[in-house]
Amino acid sequence: MLEFIDLEMIKMNIFAIFASLVIVGIFKNIRKALTIYFSILLLFSMGSLYYMKSVAQENIQSFKKANELKCTQADSEYRVSIDEKWIIDKNYFIKDSLMIRADKCEIFK
């Protein structure tokens, strides 16, 4: 699941840090504030990882059903399908030397 950590995860952690500063202001007990901070951080992180993993699994299932997917990587978009000779390796779509994470795709319409 660690392969899904990216910019969204970092943004959430920054938000959690600011939230913890507010909590420290509310609760004068630093130990209680840190416990709440790490609990919030853990919940946000696990929730985000679970969501990204479930999106990846849905996209992989769609790919296996011969649906065409539109995937983004950096500023580029790719059409991913079995017909285009893409393959699956764990949570990535691979063609030649290009690897695209499965959670960065959506069904092409």
53-80 per-position pLDDT tens digit: 999 999 999 999 989 999 998 889 999 9
Maximum separation of any 2 CA atoms in the chain, in Å: 61
Phi, psi for residue 107 in degrees, rounded to 5:
-65, 130
Q: How far out from the chain centre does Cα 91 lie? A: 11
Distance between CA atoms of 23 and 34, rounded to whole angstroms? 9
DSSP secondary structure of 69-108: EEEEETTEEEEE-TTTT-EEETTEEEETTEEEEGGGEEE-
Residue ranges covered by each domain of the chain:
2-107
DSSP-derived 3-state class of residue 28: coil
pTM over 0.85: no
Give the pLDDT confidence score for residue 63 in this predicted structure: 93
Mean predicted confidence (pLDDT) in 42-47: 84
Residue 94 has pLDDT above 90, yes or no: yes
List the one residue out of 74, 73, 67, 75 whose CA is nearest residue 109.
Answer: 67
6-37 per-position pLDDT tens digit: 666 677 777 777 776 676 666 667 777 778 77
